[in-house]
Structure 1
Amino acid sequence: MHGQRIIETALSTTRCLLAGASVLVATLFTGPAFADDDGRPVKVMIINMFGGTPFPFSEASAFTANLGLTESIPVRGLSPDYPNILCNSDDVCQMVAGEGHANVAASTMALILSNKFDLRRTYFLIAGIAGIDPHEGTTGSAAWARYLIDYGISWEIDAREIPGTAADPTTPAWPYGYLAIFPTDTTTQPWNSLPTIPTPYHSEMYQLNEALLQKVLSLTSKVDLTVNDSAAAQAYRGRYAEAKAKAPPSVIQCDTMAGDTWFHGIKLGERAAAWTALWTGGKGTYCTTQQEDNATYMALTRGANSGLVDLNRVAVLRTASNFDRPYPGESAWHSLCGCGPEGGSGGFVPAISNLWAASAPFIKDVVAHWDKWKHGVPK
């Protein structure tokens, strides 16, 4: 009998230990939050690149204030500068991802894999400021993108050493030193040729959902952006020769170029336009330049591949805080730094203000008519 009690006690202890181990393993692999569900539902997730200062000095501030984003949810793996997701009772949330390719990719993956949010029906609004081509728009304008083009994935030869220069007098002369990696044409126009084989990068060009783009344009195209304009911006844009540069800010549709290098000047701007035309088969129109969007979208594609995100629900908005090249008679350096006698473009505050103004009708419509939006883009 005594031996039997010992055996029963040992078996009971073993069962308790196994049960405890099962709970521990379940906790480790499901995470401490939302272990029994799919996470907090989100109707709209706004992705800005910088915040931390009051309006009008950051992309995030106007959204935070106007939407009453007071619920703070910490997420491991976000930028240490912006470690929390902010939400409101309407299930609109905001992530400040940090600036540049690396930051936004890391932050977006952390958000998707956190298990704290159900993002399967979420509409993602990537919203930030940018430079703009004066041939396509002006400071303060808000541009919704159809195509996202990566500026940086390319071969590059210093412009002083390309064919047609003293360092390489061969012909034909090249217009710039950027070209696709392993271009199909290596003799006639290598700079105007796509790669010979599928690349391992998968992020050179993305096309957004046309139905969502058209819906967003229908909701926002008549927003008056001139109410946020400034005298400084008006004076500066008046120095440009292009009609669209001189015009008041408005909501427009054109495409965006992402690259960590903050390029500037006529020649590099022309390269951006040619690069966009090349990768889109002539269908895209380059107008804004920024540092993040292809990296953000790449992270979203990883989430979509895992069934966690719907790529048909991604919209990209960029407002113009500056031009991507100087006006006639201004140096590229002074145009870039805003440190010459001409002063800066005056476009920063209008761009920040119009980022919210141009996106607000879209956000509000999703919330007000969620019964229609939750199943996909309404007709």
Structure 2
Amino acid sequence: MLRRRIALLAGWLAIAGCQPLLAAEEVKVVVVANWENGADSGDAPGEYQDWVEREHLDQKIAVRGAPDAVRRNAQGLYGLVLRHGAPDLVAFILDPRFDFSHTYWLFTGISGVDPNTGSVGSVAWARWVIDGDRARELDDRDIPKGWPYGLFAIGASRPDQLPDNPNHYGSVTDVAELSQALPLNQGLAHWAYQLSRKVPLADDNVIAARRKAWQGYPMAQQPPMVLEGETLGAIRYWHGASRNRWAEDWVKMWTRGQGRFVMTNEESQTYQRIMITMGHEGFVDLKRILVLRSASNFSMPPPGGSSTASIGDEAPGQVLAFDNNQRAGSVVLHQLLQHWAQYRLQIPSVPAPAAH
């Protein structure tokens, strides 16, 4: 449905005389943030402000349908904050003044981190974006004996099972169409990881003190680090040990054991599906998309802690997550911009080791 609507909108623009100009500006790199507190600079930071201030995204670009959403700097880096969500992203991509044929996209954002894989303040380059929305659900109090939870794949008959009967879902006849693993360019992601893995990350005294509560979770007790691992997007804000187990299993299942759950958030699945649609319609190159998430909090409470007390407890981790996202991501974007003559046609890639 989304793909059809975007195609219709593109056709309408053409009919209205809005075909891309011959001299459309070739956009090199775009960094995408999901939201911002107040102004883009000069006040308390959100996901966008560190990028605006540190990368000197001083020039505002008026885009119809995405007011006050796009900026750029003198080096050709564009910034996009999705103040209105998906409409801002679509409006920018469909603006005929810009050519996104060779554009690299960095989707950023803060997340909850799995304490089995990382710590607050850490950042992770994704190899897949996993959709956590499209599922069957039974209340956990009503599940059959032996089930770990009540969430399972459409077309499957129980949790931790890939779809085996596509006809269980409307008119879908191909099991592959039900996949919730949205692949990224793993060679590009591993290249980005190799560039940024030794970048000095910030830490925080309050966060460091909180890490001591994570007895039995050695990764959660580490200072912020750069990781490789998957981002799970779900509109509902879930939290707790049971759902964390589901997330780990869900990512492992859909990537057929090749991926691992690291970060959880509410929007990455939506935007990746939009980019897939845009790629299929020829507006963007899907091989040039990067996703970098940074941890503002854990996806479950520490041992002995309360889920209701810890859910949504992102401060002071947010500021640390904003900071480290820009520190790690900027190294990659600068490399792309400084060597644009090479990377315009040749996508950088480093063979990724077997995911786990």
The 8 Å contact of residues 132 and 324 in structure 1, kept in 2 or not, is answered as yes
Specify the code of the residue in structure 2 equivalent to 1:85: V
Counterpart of 1:217 in structure 2 is: 193
- Matched residues in 1 for 2:115 and 2:152: separation? 24
Specify the code of the residue in structure 2 equivalent to 1:369: H
The 8 Å contact of residues 154 and 180 in structure 1, kept in 2 or not, is answered as yes
Deviations 1:276-324 (A, max 9, x none): 0110101110010011112111111122112210011000000000000
Specify the code of the residue in structure 1 equivalent to 2:24: G
Matched, 1:62 2:35: no
Specify the code of the residue in structure 2 equivalent to 1:231: N
- Matched residues in 2 for 1:248 and 1:141: separation? 8
Equivalent residues in 2 for 1:100-179 (5 A)? 104-164=85-145, 173-179=146-152
Specify the code of the residue in structure 1 equivalent to 2:338: A
The 8 Å contact of residues 203 and 298 in structure 1, kept in 2 or not, is answered as no
- Matched residues in 1 for 2:299 and 2:20: separation? 48
Matched, 1:192 2:160: yes
TM (normalized to structure 1)?
0.81
Matched, 1:349 2:323: no
Counterpart of 1:233 in structure 2 is: 207
- Matched residues in 1 for 2:13 and 2:240: separation? 56
- Matched residues in 1 for 2:183 and 2:133: separation? 18
Counterpart of 1:29 in structure 2 is: 16
- Matched residues in 2 for 1:330 and 1:27: separation? 57
- Matched residues in 1 for 2:288 and 2:142: separation? 44
Q: CA deviation at 1:347?
A: 1.4
Counterpart of 1:182 in structure 2 is: 155
SS in 2 for 1:93: strand
Specify the code of the residue in structure 2 equivalent to 1:354: N
Counterpart of 1:76 in structure 2 is: 64
Q: CA deviation at 1:83?
A: 3.5
Matched, 1:260 2:230: no
- Matched residues in 2 for 1:126 and 1:27: separation? 28
Deviations 1:151-204 (A, max 9, x none): 11001111111112xxxxxxxx21100011121xx3xxx111122223697672
Q: CA deviation at 1:275?
A: 0.4
Distance 1:120 1:163, change over 3 A: same
Counterpart of 2:72 in structure 1 is: 87
Equivalent residues in 2 for 1:11-50 (5 A)? 29-31=16-18, 36-37=21-22, 39-50=24-35
Deviates more, 1:192-201 or 1:287-296: 192-201
Deviates more, 1:87-96 or 1:276-285: 87-96
Specify the code of the residue in structure 2 equivalent to 1:65: E
Specify the code of the residue in structure 2 equivalent to 1:282: G
Counterpart of 1:341 in structure 2 is: none
- Matched residues in 2 for 1:253 and 1:26: separation? 40
Distance 1:105 1:201, change over 3 A: farther
Counterpart of 1:371 in structure 2 is: 341
SS in 2 for 1:247: coil
Aligned match of 1:330 in 290, 296, 305?
305
Matched, 1:275 2:245: no
The 8 Å contact of residues 236 and 346 in structure 1, kept in 2 or not, is answered as no
SS in 2 for 1:246: coil
- Matched residues in 2 for 1:245 and 1:26: separation? 50
Counterpart of 1:296 in structure 2 is: 271
Deviations 1:28-61 (A, max 9, x none): 6233xx8532532211111100114446520100
Aligned match of 1:308 in 278, 283, 307?
283
Counterpart of 1:13 in structure 2 is: none
Aligned Cα root-mean-square deviation (Å): 2.1
Q: CA deviation at 1:97?
A: 1.2
Specify the code of the residue in structure 2 equivalent to 1:247: Q
Counterpart of 1:318 in structure 2 is: 293
Looking at CA atoms only, which structure, 1 or 2, has the larger radius of gyration? 1
Aligned length: 326
**Percentage of identical aligned residues:** 30
SS in 2 for 1:317: strand
- Matched residues in 2 for 1:56 and 1:235: separation? 23
5+ residue gaps, structure 1, are: 1-24, 165-172, 339-343
- Matched residues in 2 for 1:67 and 1:346: separation? 23
Deviations 1:200-247 (A, max 9, x none): 97672111112211210121010111xx21111011121012000000
TM (normalized to structure 2)?
0.86
